[in-house]
Homo-oligomer: A and B are copies of this chain.
Amino acid sequence: MVKKHIELRSVRITDGFWKRKQDLVRETTVFSVYNRFYDTGRVEALKCDPSNPEKRHYFWDSDLAKWIEGVAYLLEKEPAPELERLADAMIADIVANQREDGYFNSYFQTVETDQVYALRKNHELYCAGHLIEAAIAYKRATGKDLLYRCMLKFADQIDRVFRVEKSAAFLTPGHQELELALVKLWRESGERRYLELAKYFIDERGSEREREMAGIKPEQLRYAQDHLPVREQFTAEGHAVRLLYMCCAMADLALETNDEALKTACERIFRNIAEERMYITGGLGSNCNFEGFEENYHLPNEIAYNETCASIALCLFARRMQLLSEDPIYANVIEREIYNGVLSGLSLDGKAFFYENPLEIDLMSPTHQSGGRQKLHYPIQQRVEVFSCSCCPPNMTRFIPSLGEYLYTVEDGGIRVHQYMDSETREGELHLIQKTDYPRSGDVEFHYQGSATAVSFRIPDWCRSYTLSQNGRPVEAEQVNGYVTLPMANNDRVSLSFEMPVTFVEANPAIRADAGKCAVMRGPVVYCAEQVDNAELRLYDFRASEDGAKTEESEQFYFPTVTLTGEVREDGRTLYAAERFRRRSAELKLIPYHAFANRGPSNMTVWLLQK
């Protein structure tokens, strides 16, 4: 058996934090996003009516495709007739308007109709990729293959134009996405040419020929990872989402074609991100100008871009890497992302989104005169229900329902448990139940039914102390490469208990932005301080003591809030004083970072002065 994840259709999240989030998406978010898409004209645009004067954008098809994909994942679990009806309507419009030769794009078929495949930046292949992913997911969830057959035609057209005739104005997609979708299409259809096309695009990227044809300027090379052949790219450069979608395809191809060079590049890029270019929240891509990665350890907190889609994309990439490698880094990073940098993109009420996810907010900052010699950009301070570029909301609605696919991988040797979520999994003989309220609680109970096998449990990288028992008896098992492995027999029960103290975390000394500071975590959850919880106390002046931290249950935030003891300085008139300003004891209340900005505009910080 080739190593694979246990599929979404086999895994049901049954309780706990993620059940609540999946319910929120199912009951609220997916409808809210549809309504915003409808209001903005995206849905209507699928009718490709040139007389419709509404201003469109050429990436709209991808927004709707991702929405359809999310609906498909929801339908895997439970019927949702209204959502299915809305999706079917969109699909009908797409099918009805697909060009004879297979091409589809609601923008270029109605607006700028002479620009088909004229400019690499026009996102045509990006939209195609998301439509392909949607088509496959929808067929698998519903059995309906209308869109799927459409997309086979589209993929064939792309193959003709780009690989056979090379008649487009550019060789490879601008924004990567199609490559990973083509691998999915190969896996679904069995038609090898889709894998070959994906490989072709990956192999051509970074070639001189590509650069010349597409007229890419030297200073633009890194932006879309055109600076080197991908097998020679060992650091995370350029636009984060583009890079990470490309890495997904590279990882897929590495697996499908046993390409060691691709695998190595993936491992090195991943490690560069996780060990040198990632925020503690999992945020990725510090620079707002190109939405991407800067040099190692340059991680400013207040102006951090940290696109929500990038955190989701890292999960997509990491999940694929789990099939290539036993390295625990992948599951650990996924965990960091889902509880922090991904989730901060969604409001607690499920209706609003952040595109950017900073680690510090000062409400006064945007009021300073900006523009001319120095133009400072700050993320918005409150989530909004729709953006003109709305990639993050449907990414959220397709990602959260798909989380079941992140729990387990299986291979001949056994099962690996990567994530802890209350769930029930059935596949063939296997019936595996996780009962847990992780990470509100550190306890996880497994009930295994199936043939004798080995089950490996990830010990989270933040965990310093845990207990393990099997069938009621404590077990000592050696932790190998971040996992402990137990032999399992039918009906075995395993209990894990991860100790979850409030922990103070330091950043690597090479990160200037965090020098002299600490961040608070409890299990995988990163915390932050918001002004709204802390009266007039100066968040940036609070020195945190590592003693005396308390937790308090919270209905509102699900995870406990944390109260730190420490000190702040009292007000004074003197501007610069040789005597220290007087200190007084103070407490600071922290909430989970992902829940920031849900109670109105507020100063906020993740990093706190160390005592």
CB distance from A251 to the nearest CB of B (A): 22
A447 within 8 A of B: no
Q: Which of A542-599 contact B (CB under 8 A)?
A: 543, 568-581
Residue from the list B278, B289, B577, B579 in contact with A372, Cβ < 8 A: B289
**Is A168 interfacial (CB-CB < 8 Å)?**
no
* Residues of B with C-beta under 8 A to A290: 369, 372
Tell which of B288, B364, B368, B521 touches A373, judged by Cβ atoms closer than 8 Å: B288
- Given contacts A578-B504, A609-B516, is CB(A371)–CB(B510) below 8 Å? no
CB-CB under 8 A from A506, the residues of chain B are 569, 576-581
Contacts of A464 on B, CB cut-off 8 Å? 578
Residue of B nearest to A371 (CB): B289
In the bound complex, CA of A256 to CA of B609 (Å): 52
Instruction: State whether the Cβ of A58 lies closer than 8 Å to any Cβ in chain B.
Output: no
Given A276-B575, A509-B538, A581-B508, CB of A364 within 8 Å of CB of B298 = yes
Answer whether A572 and B288 are a contact pair too, CB < 8 Å, given A462-B578, A609-B516.
Answer: no
Q: Which residues of B contact A570 (CB under 8 A)?
A: 509
Given contacts A509-B570, A516-B543, contact A575 B364 (CB under 8 A): no
Interface-central residue, A276, A294, A295, A541, by most chain B CB under 10 Å: A541
Q: Name the distance in Å between A525's Cβ and chain B's nearest Cβ.
A: 13
Q: Bound state CA distance, A579 and B464, in angstroms?
A: 10
The interface stretch among A25-33, A374-382, A433-441 is: A374-382
The distance in angstroms between the C-alpha atoms of A376 and B374, with both chains bound, is 5
Q: Give the residues from 480 to 527 in chain A that come closer than 8 angstroms, CB to CB, to chain B.
A: 503-512, 515-517, 519, 521
Taking a contact as CB atoms under 8 Å apart, the answer to whether A574 and B508 are in contact is yes
In the bound complex, residues from chain B placing their C-beta under 8 Å from that of A508 are 572, 574-577, 581
A515-B503 in contact (CB<8A): no
Q: From A289, which residue of chain B is reached at the shortest CB distance?
A: B372
CA distance A386 to B348 in the complex (A): 57
The digit string for A271-306, where 1 denotes a CB below 8 A from any CB of B, is 000111010100000011110001100100001000
Distance, CA A569 to CA B507, complexed state (A): 11
A515-B541, A609-B516 known; A576+B280 contact, CB < 8 A: yes
Q: From DSSP, what is the main secondary structure of chain A's interface residues?
A: loop
| Nearest-Cβ distance from residue A232 to partner chain B, whole angstroms | 22
- Bound: A369/B222 CA distance, A: 12
**Any B CB within 8 A of the CB of A17:** no
Given contacts A516-B543, A543-B516, contact A505 B577 (CB under 8 A): yes
Please name the residue on chain B nearest to A462 by beta carbon: B578
Q: Given the complex of chains A and B, what is the CA–CA distance between A444 and B85 in angstroms? A: 91
Q: Does A451 reach chain B (CB closer than 8 Å)?
A: no
Q: How many Å lie between the Cα of A14 and that of B508 in the bound state?
A: 53
Q: Residue among A576, A578, A609 with the most chain B CB within 10 A?
A: A576
Q: Specify the chain B residue showing the minimal Cβ separation from A504.
A: B578
- By a CB distance below 8 angstroms, the chain B residues around A156 are none
Tell me the complex Cα distance, A464–B578, Å. Answer: 9
Whether A540 is near chain B, meaning CB under 8 Å from some CB there, is yes
Hey, what's the 0/1 contact readout for A86-129 against B, CB within 8 Å counting as 1? 00000000000000000000000000000000000000000000
Residues of B within 8 A of A373 (CB): 288-289, 375, 377
Q: Which one of A280, A374, A540 has the highest number of Cβ atoms from chain B below 10 Å of its Cβ? A: A374
Which residues of chain A from 129 to 144 have a CB within 8 Å of any chain B CB?
none
A503–B609 Cα distance when bound, in Å, is: 22
A362 beta carbon closer than 8 Å to chain B: yes
* Cβ A576 vs Cβ B374 within 8 A: no
**Quick check: B581 and A362 within 8 Å, CB to CB?**
no
Inter-chain contacts of A471 with B (CB < 8 A) = none
How far apart sit A79 and B503, CA to CA, in the bound complex (Å)?
72
Of B280, B289, B576, B609, which contacts A507 at CB under 8 A? Answer: B576
Chain B residues in 8 Å Cβ range of A367: 295
**What is the bound-complex CA distance between A369 and B369, given in angstroms?**
21
B374 engages A288 (CB within 8 Å): yes
Interface residue? A370 (CB, 8 A): yes
Alpha-carbon gap, A168 to B573, bound state (A): 45
Q: Cα distance A575–B276 when bound, in Å?
A: 6
Smallest CB-CB separation from A368: which chain B residue? B294
Q: Would you call B572 and A505 a contact (CB within 8 A)?
A: no
Chain B residues with CB below 8 A from A374, complex form: 287-289, 303, 375-377
Asked if A572 and B509 sit within 8 Å, CB to CB, the answer is yes
* 8 other A-B residue contacts (CB within 8 Å) besides A373-B377, A509-B569, A521-B578: A288-B373, A290-B369, A294-B368, A362-B512, A506-B579, A509-B570, A509-B571, A516-B541
The 4 closest A-B pairs by CB, nearest first: A374-B377, A509-B569, A516-B609, A375-B375
A-B residue pairs in contact (CB < 8 Å), sample of 24: A274-B575, A288-B374, A289-B369, A289-B372, A289-B374, A294-B368, A295-B367, A298-B368, A373-B377, A374-B377, A503-B578, A506-B577, A506-B580, A506-B581, A508-B575, A508-B576, A508-B577, A509-B538, A509-B568, A509-B569, A509-B570, A510-B538, A512-B540, A515-B538
